[in-house]
Amino acid sequence: MDIAAIRAQIPTTQKMTYLNTGWAGPSPVSVVDAVRERMEMEQFGARTALDVVEGGQAVMKRAREATAGLLGCASE
């Protein structure tokens, strides 16, 4: 595990030791980028357009599957 690479993904840790690991901690750069990309797609691509809706459903499916994998259960 490369701790320096992990810390580099969370800019706040470059300035301080961040100990608040509850629900409102800083997000890694990769998460912020993914959220920004999705928000821009929805805002500039019509939120109800078929490709936007299907893309959102695919994101949710992958998230459920990833969570199920972590928990060792079915994604349903």
Closest of 22, 21, 28 to residue 7, by C-alpha: 28
| Res 21: pLDDT | 66
Confidence band of 70 (pLDDT split at 50, 70, 90): very high
Q: How far apart are CA 63 and CA 17, in angstroms?
A: 29
- Taking only the tens place, the pLDDT of each residue in 34-47 is 999 988 888 887 77
Q: Note if the pTM is more than 0.85.
A: no
